[in-house]
């Protein structure tokens, strides 16, 4: 291995450590939000019990209407069937929405996968980060990320699509060029390395006005870490 490759490996490893720390922080934040919702709704139940015991049906109805509105936020939580995927996807979706980016997600994943959850977390996190950064440069009405994840036989299919500013993106050295700096490009390197190690398939496609990444990962027998 040459000096350049060694330096790249060290840079990728450092980026990976930073990414893992960020993702775990996002996951923990998601769990804190869920715990907060549980605590809040215990209090809500107590309030409604008091209204019911006092026979104040009008007050109870008003309170339920307020809760119905508040629940619209909770109902947006994506449930894939895999806890770690739920955590990272929902934290990234929350981040996207805070930046005025709409996310349409349809994801179904078995609870048990023959893939390291850390690997899956890195893949999803990087794909979402790239889509969020690209979408942030667009007018708000064009900011949209589409996420689709499901099983195809024994393989996990992952698809991320985001709108772009117009023309097809250009490739550099066999890769689509990133305008977000060399360090950000390490995320794509990391995704490529994980997919290759797991014996999966990856395709990136730039069409007029849209960029799509598709990944197929075998789940029955992942490669050793």
pTM here is 0.65
Question: Which bin fits 166, alpha (ψ -120 to 50), beta or left (φ > 0)?
Answer: left
Task: State residue 53 phi and psi, 5-degree precision.
Answer: -65, -35
Which strands make up the sheet holding 201-207, listed edge to edge?
A: 102-107, 144-152, 155-163, 210-218, 201-207
Are 205 and 101 in contact, with CB atoms under 8 Å apart?
no
CATH fold label, 77-218:
Heat Shock Protein 90 (3.30.565)
pLDDT at position 198 is 92
The per-residue pLDDT string of the chain (225 residues; one tens digit each, 9 = 90 and over) reads 566 566 656 665 665 666 666 666 666 666 676 677 777 777 888 888 888 999 998 988 888 888 776 665 554 567 788 777 887 888 888 888 888 999 999 998 876 778 887 788 889 988 998 999 999 989 988 999 999 999 998 899 999 999 987 655 555 444 555 545 444 566 788 899 899 999 999 999 988 789 999 999 998 654 444
- Least Cα distance to 96 among 134, 49, 69 occurs for 134
Task: State residue 138 phi and psi, 5-degree precision.
Answer: -100, 160
Give how far the C-alpha of residue 124 lies from the chain's centroid of Cα atoms, to the nearest Å: 5
CA 98-90-16 angle, to 5 degrees, is 95
For the CA atoms of 212, 160, 112, 222, the dihedral, rounded to the nearest 10 degrees, stands at 30
Domain ranges of the chain: 77-218
Q: Which residues contact 27 (CB under 8 A, 6 or more apart)?
A: 84, 87, 88, 91, 121
Residues in the chain: 225
**Per-residue DSSP letters for 121-157?**
HHHHHHHHHHHHHHHTTS-GGG-EEEEEEEEETTEEE
pLDDT at position 217 is 94
pLDDT at position 27 is 63
For residue 216, list its beta bridge partners: 157, 201
């Amino acid at each position: 291995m040459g000096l350049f490759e060694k330096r790249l490996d060290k840079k990728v490893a450092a980026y990976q450590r930073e990414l893992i720390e960020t993702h775990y922080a996002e996951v923990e934040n998601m769990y804190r939000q869920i715990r907060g919702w549980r605590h809040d709704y215990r209090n809500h139940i107590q309030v409604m019990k008091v209204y019911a015991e006092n026979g104040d049906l009008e007050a109870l109805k008003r309170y339920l209407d307020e809760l119905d509105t508040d629940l619209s936020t909770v109902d947006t939580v994506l449930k894939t069937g895999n806890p770690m995927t739920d955590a990272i996807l929902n934290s990234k979706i929350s981040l996207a929405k805070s930046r005025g980016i709409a996310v349409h997600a349809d994801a179904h994943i078995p609870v048990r996968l023959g893939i390291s959850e850390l690997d899956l977390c890195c893949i999803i996190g990087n794909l979402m980060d790239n889509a969020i950064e690209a979408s942030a440069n667009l007018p708000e009405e064009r900011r949209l990320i589409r996420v689709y994840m499901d099983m195809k036989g024994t393989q996990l299919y992952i698809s991320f699509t985001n709108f772009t500013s117009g023309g097809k993106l250009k490739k550099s050295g066999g890769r689509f060029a990133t305008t977000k700096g060399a360090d950000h490009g390490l995320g794509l390197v990391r995704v490529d390395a994980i997919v290759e190690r797991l014996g999966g398939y990856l395709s990136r496609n730039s069409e007029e006005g849209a960029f799509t990444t598709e990944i197929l990962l075998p789940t029955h027998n992942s490669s050793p870490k």
